[in-house]
Amino acid sequence: MPKPDDKELALLRKENAQLKKSLERMETQLQHSNETITDLRKLLIDLQEKLDILIAQFKKRNRRDYGDKTERHNPRPALVETPVEPTSPTPKQAPKPRNHTKHILNQSVPTQPVPHAVSAECAVCPDCTVMTVFVSNEVTYQLERLKHSLVRLQHEQEVRACPKCKKYVVTAEKPCPPIPGSYVGPGLLADICVSKLADGLPNYRQEKRYKREEAIIPRSTQSDWTLAASLLVEPLYELLKRQVLSSRCIQTDDTNIKIQDRKHKRKMRKGKMTVYRGDEQNPAVIFDFSPDLSFDRNKKFFQDFIGFVQADAAGGFDALFKDGSRIEVGCNAHSRRKYYEALVSEPKKSNDVLDIYHALYKIEEKVRTVSPGARLAARQSESKPLIDQLHATVLALRKDINPSNLLAKAAEYTLRHWIALTKFVDDPELEIDNNSSEREIKDFVLDRKNFLFAGSDAGGKAIAILLSLIASAKRNKIDPQAYLTDVFTRINSMKTSELGELIPDRWAITHRQRKLS
C-alpha cells in the first residue's frame, strides 16, 4: 500500500484540526443550550410559583367577597350525590297559628290599660230597646312605642324658713346631677353612651332621633356630655383595670382607629384600641386607647403583671415574654384559619389538618361547662393524642410543599408557635383560642364602621373608658343602659372607698332583676 505523501498528511492534519474546532464549538453551544434550558426551567418554576400565589389570592378574594363569612368545615363531605327518586308531591299543610299573646305576656314591659267603651248607639239593645249592662272586658295585647320617651323633669326644691327668727332657711336636697351645670339626666346620658357604643348609633343620627321626639340635642352637645361622662367614671375604670390585672390569664387583641388631627398633613392619623379580658374569676373587660400604633401602651399595661397572656402572636408582644414573668398562650383559631385559607391551593392536605382541629374543638365544646379537673382529664386523654397527630401532620406538610405556598406558610406559623399553641392541654383554666377577646373587639369594630373616627386623643380615651363599662356589663349579663343610669345617678354622691359597689360583677349581685337572660 503506498504511503501518503507530506501534502496529504498536512491536509488530513488540517481537516482534523478543523473537526476538533467544530466539535469544541458544538460542545460549547450544547453547554450554553443546557445552561439556557436550566435558566428557562428556573424561570418557569418561578413564574409558576407566582402564578400559584396569584391564583390563590384571586380565590381568597372571591371567597372573601362572595363566599360564606363563617369558617365552616365538614370533616366528611359527600363525594357523590345519590340521586333522589321522584316522589309524589305532598299537599302543603296550613301553618299552625302561633300564640302571640303568650309571647307578649312573657316580656318585661309595663302594661298600660287602654279602655274602649261601647258607643251610645250600640249600648241599647235594638230588639228590647233596653240599656245593656256591663258583663266583662275582652282583653287583647299590643306592643306599642310611645312618641315622647323624653321627659322634662321640673325639680321643685322646697324652701322653708323660721317665722320667728327669720334667719333659719333650709332647702330640700335633690340628687346630684351626673354633670354639674348641665341639664342632662343620668338616664339620657346613659342612653347616649349606650346608643353610640353598644348600638353603633353616631351622635348625628341620635340628633335626628331626638329631633323626631321634639327635643333639640346637637351632636356637639352630645360629644361634650360623652367626654364629661368618661371623666366622671374614670376612677371606676381604674378599678376595672385593677380587677383585670388580678387575673391569672389575660386575653388581648387590638385594632386600628382613625384620629382627627389638624396638625397632620392628611388631617388624620392612626391610633390603636386594645382590649384586655380578665379570666372567669375576674369578669371584667378593659379597652385601652393608644394615640399611635406602637406597643408602648401594651408594655405599660403589663409591666407589673405576672401570669399568662393569650394573644395572636403579634411581633410587638415578644418583648413581654423575654424576662419569663409572663407566659405566652397561643391562639389556635388563628392557626386553624391559615389552613382554611389554604384550601384554595391544597384542599386535600389542608382538610387533613382541619379534621384534627375539628375534633379538638368538639372536645372543647364538650368540656366547656365541666369542672377544671374533669376538663384537664379530658384534654390529657383525648386532646393530647390529637395534638401529637397534628404535630406529625404539619411536619410532613412542610417537607413536601414549596415554601411560598399558603399551606407551607400555615405550617410554618403552627410550628413556630407550637409551644404557645399547646399550653391549653396542660392547664384547664386556659382557653384553646383567643376568640373571646376577638368578640369583645368586634363590638368596637362595628361602632367604628358607624362613627368612622375619633375627634381627638381625648375622644379616643373617652370611647375606651365608656366601652369598658359597657362591655363589662354585657359580660356579666347586665342591661348596660340600666347599669350606666344607676352609675351616673350615684357616683357623684359616693365616697371613693365605696366605688367598688359599682363594679359590674358586684353590681349584678344587688340588682338581680336587671340581669339579662
DSSP secondary structure, 244-309, as one string:
HHTSSEEEEEEEEEEEE-TTSTTSEEEEEEEEEE--TTS--EEEEEESSSSSHHHHHHTTT--EEE
Residue 50 pLDDT: 79
Percentage of the chain lying above the pLDDT 70 cut: 90
Let me know: does 437 contact 275? Beta carbons within 8 Å.
yes
User: How far apart (Å, rounded) are the C-alpha atoms in residues 495 and 501?
Assistant: 11
Residue 56 pLDDT: 78
For residue 202, pLDDT beyond 70:
yes
User: How far apart (Å, rounded) are the C-alpha atoms in residues 43 and 35?
Assistant: 12
What pLDDT band is residue 13 in, cutting at 50, 70 and 90? confident
Helix residue ranges per DSSP H, 145-202: 186-197
SS3 state of residue 234: helix
Residue 3 pLDDT: 60
Which residues touch 140 (CB under 8 Å, ≥6 apart)?
Answer: 101
Residue 29 pLDDT: 85
| Amino acid sitting at position 141 | Y
Which residues touch 251 (CB under 8 Å, ≥6 apart)?
Answer: 276, 277, 310, 311, 431, 434, 436, 437
pLDDT tens digits, residue range 305-331? Answer: 999 999 888 877 888 888 888 899 999
User: How far apart (Å, rounded) are the C-alpha atoms in residues 246 and 417?
Assistant: 26
17: cell is 484540526
What pLDDT band is residue 514 in, cutting at 50, 70 and 90? low
For residue 257, pLDDT beyond 70:
yes
Lowest mean pLDDT among 102-116, 226-240, 249-263, 472-486: 102-116
User: How far apart (Å, rounded) are the C-alpha atoms in residues 321 and 318?
Assistant: 6
Q: How many CB atoms lie within 10 A of CB 85?
A: 5
What pLDDT band is residue 84 in, cutting at 50, 70 and 90? very low
Q: Average the pLDDT over 325-340 and give the result.
A: 91
Q: Is the pTM of this model over 0.85?
A: no
Residue 36 pLDDT: 86
Which residues touch 316 (CB under 8 Å, ≥6 apart)?
Answer: 294, 295, 298
User: How far apart (Å, rounded) are the C-alpha atoms in residues 141 and 138?
Assistant: 10
What pLDDT band is residue 95 in, cutting at 50, 70 and 90? low
For residue 7, pLDDT beyond 80:
no
Mean pLDDT, rounded, of the chain: 85
